[in-house]
Each structure stands twice: as C-alpha cells, then as structure tokens.
Structure 1
C-alpha cells in the first residue's frame, strides 16, 4: 500500500486586540487528501476567517474534489449581529 497516501494539514493565525475594546480576527485552513501514486483521488479543504465578537462573522471557502472534479463553495455568515465599535478619537484636543 506504499502507493496510497493520506495527507493532511491544519493551521491558524489569530490577532487579539484588548485596547480600546476587545476584538479578534482568526484565519484558519485545513485540508485532507487521499492520493494514489501522487494523483488526488479525494480531497476536502476549508479556509476562512472568523472575526468578532460583535458582529461575529465567518467567511471563507470549502473545496471538495473527487478525481478530476472540483467543487468550491464560498460562504459568508453572520453568527451574532451587532455593530462594529469604532476606535475613539485620541487627538491632542480631545485629551486636554
């Protein structure tokens, strides 16, 4: 069975901000593929970005492959509604 292989990977990056308000952005990816002699028989991958907390949104792409057919599905969902907070104006005149 040395001609058949299972390959997979996973990764993420996150940025978290606490000041002047809490906010985060996390990018992620994951994939799995079954290959025969280096040719992909079946593959599934997912990549995207999660940001929040208000609004909490996720967007990205899921890909499915079987032999030579590939299907890509893009998504953009709001999981929790809300308005994004703006950074306060910290000009010199507002500090005095």
Structure 2
C-alpha cells in the first residue's frame, strides 16, 4: 500500500515545466547552427503560446453569476445603484461604540 502513495502525483500545477534539452551533439554544432536552432525554438514556443491564448474557452457559469449579468444590463440597475450611492452619502455610518437606542 505504501508503494502506491509514494509514487502518487498530487498536483501538476505546482511543478515548473522544463524546457527541452538540446539535441545530442549540440555542443559540436557551429555557432551559426546553434543560433538558428535557438531562433526556431523561440519562434515555435511563441507560436504555441499564441495558439493557447487565442483558443476559445467555454465554461458554464452558475445561477448567481447569470442573474448578475442579466440584472446589470437592466435599465433599473443604474437607477438603483445611483439611489444606493446617494443614500450612502446622506446617512452617517455609526461607529462601533454607538447604537441606535434613544434611552
């Protein structure tokens, strides 16, 4: 049972992805070939990143977020927010040691 847990991977997001190692015999290449290899690797890495960034991501939203999106575009929402901000300015907030008791 212990062998099962020793090799378990709990989270892949915490591990840093490593770049590919240079191909075998890379040290023997000429400087021009090394630079060309690095340029091509950089271009491919940037292309891959732009492909990932441009992908359409679809996900489902919950009920409350859906309701928020529906209400935010409603014309009454702007009026209610304006009234709410006006009441915040007019009413003074009570301090912690104060109360509304008249006695």
User: Quick check: which has more Rg, 1 or 2?
Assistant: 2
TM-score by length of 2: 0.23
**Structure with the larger helix share:** 2
Q: Which has the higher contact order (CA 8 A, sep 6+)?
A: 1
**Structure with the larger strand share:** 1
TM-score by length of 1: 0.24
